[in-house]
Structure 1
Amino acid sequence: MNWGKSHFNVHRNMAIALIIGTLILFFAPSAMAKKITLRYASYNPPRGMGAQTAIWMMDEITKRSKEDVNFQQYFGGTLIKARETLRGIQRGTADMGYLFVPYFPKELQTWTVAEPFVQGPVSPARRGSFFWELYDNSPEMEKQLKQWNQKVVAIRVFGMHSVGGSKPIKSLIDLKNQRVRCAGGYDALHMGDFGAKIVFLKGSEVYSAMQKGAVDANYTPLTSYYKYRLYEIGKNPHLLLIPQFVGSIGLVTINLDTWNNLSADLKKIISEVGREYSRIQDEKIRELEKEYIENMKTNGCNIFQVSKEEIKNWAEVTQGPSKIKWITSAREQGVSGAEQLLERTENLIRKYTE
């Protein structure tokens, strides 16, 4: 009797052990599969605000996912070059990455819809909120990214723009007939409408050109003006701060195939962090701009700021032709509902203007 009971217990224990072993084998691969490594690519250098905010985003995703998502970081164009990022993420060379929208004016036409405007929300936080609401109400924008096998994760806005050089510049009117370097696109159109003679140069070539007098001034974000140390050129450097609306943006996108393979929980985490990215940007931009302005003043740079009235006058001159240019280009690219998208953009700009 005892032998039979003992024999039964042995078989029962073996059965339990077998079941537990089977469960371990079944669930172990699933647990291991939760650990995901995503490749993030950006042409931005590993230092600087662009990298800092991107690293914050990746670290936050890793933390909130309890390290189920980790990142391999490729900055400085080491994985994909700047103008190849759209196709690189599309193909899956990178799972996630940073796109500067003005590099892809035709491919991402709908995402350039705010570029014709110079009057609107100025603070990075309000512009971030504006762009997210525009995106949430514009299926055309999501559709266009989807054509490139991508989904937006975060929207990067830029800080205050400025124009400066060795000649006195106290207002936008002073730019008339000056040789002003800018990146191109609508920036060139806006500056040209104020009578500036536009010069196109790479950012790395500007310092030398301004030193030699080939360029009188450079129109760029304040943070870039400081980074390239342009404020130290000449005996009487001037910098004009322009509290304008800046419609150029960058996007952090994720490959759609990668996205579709993520769990619902991970998608939620990535989406939430992407939305918070704008707040982190705002804090960082304001902090750096304040520091940079003080440093430039200390170094003898004469700094002035454009008034709201002057921005309004500028808008009256340049926004009309710029909107016509955008509509014409959108039609040529076959963008459906381009007029409605532009109208929606203009209405939201008014809503968010301080």
Structure 2
Amino acid sequence: MTQGAPRMRTTPIHIAMRSVRSIGAAAALMASATLLPGGAEATTLTFATNTAPNNLRGIAETIFIEELAAQSNGEIEVVPYWGSSLMDGREILGGVRDGVADMGFVNINYYPNRLLLNSSFMLFPRGPVSYEDRMTVFRSAYSDIPDLADELSEEGVKVVYLYGVMPFAGTFTKDVSSLEGFDGLRIRASSRWYLNLLDAVGATPVSVPWSECYQALQTGAIDSVFTNLDGIHRASLDEVAPNVFIMNQLWLPTPFLITINEAKWEGLSDAEKDAFAKAWDSAEKKFAEKYGAMFDEVVKAQKDAGYKVTFATDEEADAFANLPQVAANRETWISEAKDAGATDPEATLEKLKGLISASLGN
């Protein structure tokens, strides 16, 4: 094992895998045999992702793949390429557009310019806590705000499923149990908007590639990583930074998208398109049933390992969500969106704000 690299370990998320069948071996069969009983030919689609099948994200994507097969009565078969085996995560959007894969995972944060309108979710730090409410906001946004889907269409892709991950948390090498403890610490985040917010609470925001975060924490190059809780635990960052500060009220407002090449989509039959819609509904429900238990298991595992786990108070979450930099981020985003040709970015923010406020009961 390379010195400083995270150790592979079995995380509690593997518990959920007991009810999700392994499809790695099946992929080879799918690629080689695409005839249905009676000689009908199945539609085989390739799918590129940058995650492994045995973690929270992989579970979400596996459930969707399985539901797509079920809802189409086996007429749609998906061959997954896990763990960036076909393309790196940042290459997938263009790769699906260009037909390297028929379908692919898209993280909006990877494309701050190409998916600027879609990045508007990140301008709202406070959002619904329950998985079901988060999905309601995300799905309503894509149905009620055409500019979001239009921006993806300009990249030659269409959203056929989306899911969410666990809320924001900071994992620290130092004893931090309050928002005030962020002051003066070097904290890594992936989103430019959240780097701005970390700066506003007195931290020194830093950008470090995800693959280097473990070693950066281990060597003291940084003091913390601020990201989704499941990502922290999956990468064993809490092992070298065992002070975990969970901001459950901060919903990690990034919908993780599964997209399909638009030309490929247009070539599907109406029945196949209907199977996609039904698979979205059923997969979302099945994953939601597992989500809460997976969150609880991660927290329990961290406590059992002797890590210090602290939950932010509502007052701390409100303070973070109402920092002056939140408004400044939105003004910057509006200006950049107009420069990029958006006609009414203010309306996009207002619609999204309304959906989030409704989910919070405001």
Aligned counterparts, 1:51-90, within 5 A = 51-90=58-97
Work out whether residues 154 and 252 of structure 1, in 8 Å CA contact, stay in contact via their aligned partners in 2: yes
Q: Identify which of 266, 290, 296 aligns with 2:296.
A: 290
Matched, 1:114 2:121: yes
Matched, 1:267 2:267: no
Which position in structure 2 is the counterpart of 1:105?
112
**TM-score of the pair, normalised by structure 1:** 0.86
Distance in structure 2 (CA, Å) of the matches to 1:349 and 1:229: 32
Matched, 1:242 2:247: yes
Work out whether residues 165 and 230 of structure 2, in 8 Å CA contact, stay in contact via their aligned partners in 1: no
Sequence identity percentage:
25
Distance in structure 2 (CA, Å) of the matches to 1:81 and 1:139: 28
Of structures 1 and 2, the larger Rg is shown by 1
Letter in 2 for 1:124: Y
Distance change (3 Å), C-alpha of 1:87 and 1:124? same
Q: Identify which of 317, 329, 344 aligns with 1:311.
A: 317
Work out whether residues 146 and 256 of structure 1, in 8 Å CA contact, stay in contact via their aligned partners in 2: yes
3-state SS in 2 of match to 1:119 = coil
Number of aligned residue pairs: give it: 324
Which position in structure 1 is the counterpart of 2:215?
208
Matched, 1:169 2:173: no
Which position in structure 2 is the counterpart of 1:229?
236
Distance in structure 1 (CA, Å) of the matches to 2:273 and 2:132: 24
Distance in structure 2 (CA, Å) of the matches to 1:265 and 1:202: 42
Work out whether residues 110 and 141 of structure 1, in 8 Å CA contact, stay in contact via their aligned partners in 2: yes
Letter in 1 for 2:290: K
Distance change (3 Å), C-alpha of 1:282 and 1:63? closer
Matched, 1:340 2:347: yes
Work out whether residues 108 and 115 of structure 2, in 8 Å CA contact, stay in contact via their aligned partners in 1: yes
Work out whether residues 185 and 203 of structure 2, in 8 Å CA contact, stay in contact via their aligned partners in 1: yes
1:198 Cα offset (Å): 1.2
Work out whether residues 123 and 159 of structure 1, in 8 Å CA contact, stay in contact via their aligned partners in 2: no
Distance in structure 1 (CA, Å) of the matches to 2:153 and 2:199: 35
Distance change (3 Å), C-alpha of 1:125 and 1:174? same
Which position in structure 2 is the counterpart of 1:13?
none
Which position in structure 2 is the counterpart of 1:94?
101
Work out whether residues 121 and 245 of structure 1, in 8 Å CA contact, stay in contact via their aligned partners in 2: yes
Q: Identify which of 41, 49, 59 aligns with 2:48.
A: 41
Work out whether residues 56 and 165 of structure 2, in 8 Å CA contact, stay in contact via their aligned partners in 1: no
Distance in structure 2 (CA, Å) of the matches to 1:35 and 1:206: 43
Aligned counterparts, 1:19-30, within 5 A = none
Distance in structure 1 (CA, Å) of the matches to 2:91 and 2:348: 27
Letter in 1 for 2:297: E
Work out whether residues 109 and 190 of structure 2, in 8 Å CA contact, stay in contact via their aligned partners in 1: no
Task: Give the stretch that moved more between structures: 31-40 or 72-81.
Answer: 31-40
1:34 Cα offset (Å): 4.8
1:296 Cα offset (Å): 1.0
Gaps of 5+ in 1: 1-27
More helix by share: 1
Distance in structure 2 (CA, Å) of the matches to 1:48 and 1:195: 33
Letter in 1 for 2:349: L
Work out whether residues 117 and 246 of structure 1, in 8 Å CA contact, stay in contact via their aligned partners in 2: no
Q: Identify which of 260, 265, 270 aligns with 1:254.
A: 260
Q: CA RMSD in A?
A: 1.9
| Cα deviations by residue, 1:45-95 (Å, 9 ceiling, x for unpaired) | 233222222121111111221111111111112222211111111112111
Work out whether residues 96 and 157 of structure 2, in 8 Å CA contact, stay in contact via their aligned partners in 1: yes
Work out whether residues 135 and 142 of structure 1, in 8 Å CA contact, stay in contact via their aligned partners in 2: yes
1:196 Cα offset (Å): 0.7
Which position in structure 1 is the counterpart of 2:23?
none
Which position in structure 2 is the counterpart of 1:197?
204
Matched, 1:155 2:171: no
Matched, 1:277 2:303: no
Work out whether residues 155 and 249 of structure 1, in 8 Å CA contact, stay in contact via their aligned partners in 2: yes
Which position in structure 2 is the counterpart of 1:16?
none
Which position in structure 1 is the counterpart of 2:32?
none
Work out whether residues 41 and 97 of structure 1, in 8 Å CA contact, stay in contact via their aligned partners in 2: yes
**TM-score of the pair, normalised by structure 2:** 0.85
Distance in structure 1 (CA, Å) of the matches to 2:85 and 2:308: 38
Letter in 2 for 1:185: R
Gaps of 5+ in 2: 1-34
Distance in structure 2 (CA, Å) of the matches to 1:282 and 1:191: 30
| Cα deviations by residue, 1:111-150 (Å, 9 ceiling, x for unpaired) | 1111111112122221111011111111111211221222
